[in-house]
Amino acid sequence: MLWHRLASASAPSDIIESVTYTGNVNTTNNPTSPFTSATVSFGAAPAAGKRRYLLAVISFTQGGTSGDQTITSGSITIGGQAASMAVQAKATNLNNFIALAFAEVPTGTSGQVAFTFTGSGATSSFVAIYSVVVLGTRNLTPRSTFSQGPLAAASTTITLDVDVGDVAFVGMVVRNGSPTPTLTDNSGFGFSGFNFVIDQASSEYTSGAAILSLISGTAQTVTITDTIADRTSSAIIGTTFYLT
């Protein structure tokens, strides 16, 4: 799905032009560190005069066996480019884990996500990619983040600060979850549902959604609901990005 911001004569010279979900890969053979994903689509390379950032959703699931993966600080690369961690969350039971990292990746239509981690016990490692196209020279930067793990209830309300044109992302990893979790846009960000809901390993789902925000304000909210997930083995993240 592509979210695109239309340019106009009065538009600022530095804007986030679009955010596009490009694809995912899932590794189910008990991943070990150092980890390198299978090749995943990055989408089109940026046109002349534009820049491209890639957002990488990374999750571990344990498949019923307790594990405790922690990504090593500073170790993530996306398409060979050093990436920064925007937000991460981990459940307490089985320690299912989800994170969002980002990097400017100027070339290539596909590539790999790599990192090192401590701990063991994961049955699967999942990576999904979003492409963010930027006009101008300013840098993509997290504005606001949210993380919760484990989940306190079947419905989790994510609270974020945001401005019009920001990238807004929400994501979740669950154990014994639903293939159709719901995303309720309480404040009018512009979310219309998830871009992906992937069964990593026997009803252990990772899901995500990203859009260009239609609203501005502090403490704006969306709610994610999974009525059957094992909440102690599930975690949720959210973030907004702007240009600095």
- Give the rounded percent of residues in the chain with a pLDDT score beyond 70: 92
| Mean pLDDT across the chain | 91
Tokens of 185: 């846009």
Closest CA to 131 of 242, 20, 45: 20
Residue at 211: amino acid letter:
I
- Once rounded to an integer, what is the mean pLDDT over residues 170-184? 95
Question: Would you say 20 and 2 are in contact if contact means Cβ atoms under 8 Å apart?
Answer: yes
Residues listed for the chain: 244
Q: Does the structure show a pLDDT above 80 at 1?
A: no
- Residue 90 CA to residue 106 CA, distance in Å, equals 31
Backbone angles phi, psi at 121, to 5 degrees: 110, -10
Residue 9 has pLDDT above 50, yes or no: no
| Confidence label for 67 from pLDDT (cuts 50, 70 and 90) | low
Residue 148: name the closest of 187, 91, 220, 186 by CA.
Answer: 91
If phi > 0 it is left, if psi is from -120 to 50 it is alpha, else beta; for residue 92 that is: alpha
SS (H, E, C) 2-26: EEECCCCCCCCCCEEEEEEEEEEEE
Whole-model pTM over 0.85: yes
Give CA–CA dist 167/201, Å, rounded: 29
Region of poorest pLDDT, from 60-69, 109-118, 187-196: 60-69
48-60 pLDDT, tens digit each? 989 999 999 999 8
DSSP symbols for 181-233: -EEEESS-----S-SEEEE-SSS-EEEEEEEE-S--EEEEEEEEE-SSSEEEE
**Could you tell me the pLDDT band of residue 69, with boundaries at 50, 70 and 90?**
confident
Q: How confident is the model at residue 8 (pLDDT cuts 50, 70, 90)?
A: very low
At residue 227, φ and ψ (nearest 5 deg) are -75, -15
| Residue located via tokens 């196209």 | 133
pLDDT for residue 88: 94
Among 88, 61, 77, residue whose Cα is nearest residue 238: 88
> What does the alpha-carbon distance between residue 33 and residue 30 come to, in Å, rounded to a whole number?
10
Average pLDDT over residues 27-46: 91
Residue spans of alpha helices (H) in 160-213? none
* Confidence bin at 65 (pLDDT 50/70/90): low
* 43: confidence class by pLDDT, cuts 50, 70, 90: very high
How does residue 212 score in pLDDT terms, banded at 50, 70 and 90? Answer: very high
CA angle 61, 63, 64 (to 5 degrees): 120
Beta strands in 28-105 (DSSP E): 35-36, 40-41, 50-61, 70-71, 77-78, 81-82, 84-90, 97-104
In 3D, which of 84, 112, 107, 106 has the Cα closest to residue 24?
112
